[in-house]
Structure 1
Amino acid sequence: MDVMQILNYPSENKSLIEPPTDEEIIQGVMDVSADDELWIP
């Protein structure tokens, strides 16, 4: 893959430039918690 393609890859580039908002962080944690609960016997 070309280096410029990597640097211009939208989602990776956006996450490096723009830190997530509190809501996005909380939603990410909630999503992980929901996934974890599926595996608890």
Structure 2
Amino acid sequence: YHTWSRGPGDPDEDKKAKRQSIHEDRIRKYRNLTDKFLNGS
């Protein structure tokens, strides 16, 4: 079990986390679209 020890205000880590969540959100939306497309046809 590993906890990330992050100092207060680490902008680099924040950017990475934000980018990761945005990326996951895009993948989720894309998957939803393809699901709708496949189910609708």
After TM superposition, the score normalised by the length of structure 1 is 0.52
Choose from 3, 17, 25 the match for 1:11.
3
- Does 1 or 2 have the higher relative contact order (CA < 8 Å, sep 6+)? 1
Larger radius of gyration: 2
How many residues end up aligned between the 2 structures? 30
RMSD: 2.3
What runs of 5+ residues in structure 2 fail to find an aligned partner?
34-41
- State, as a whole percentage, how many aligned pairs show the same letter: 13
Deviates more, 1:18-27 or 1:30-39: 18-27
After TM superposition, the score normalised by the length of structure 2 is 0.52
How far 1:20 moved relative to its partner? Answer: 4.6
Match of 1:39 in 2: 28
What runs of 5+ residues in structure 1 fail to find an aligned partner?
1-8
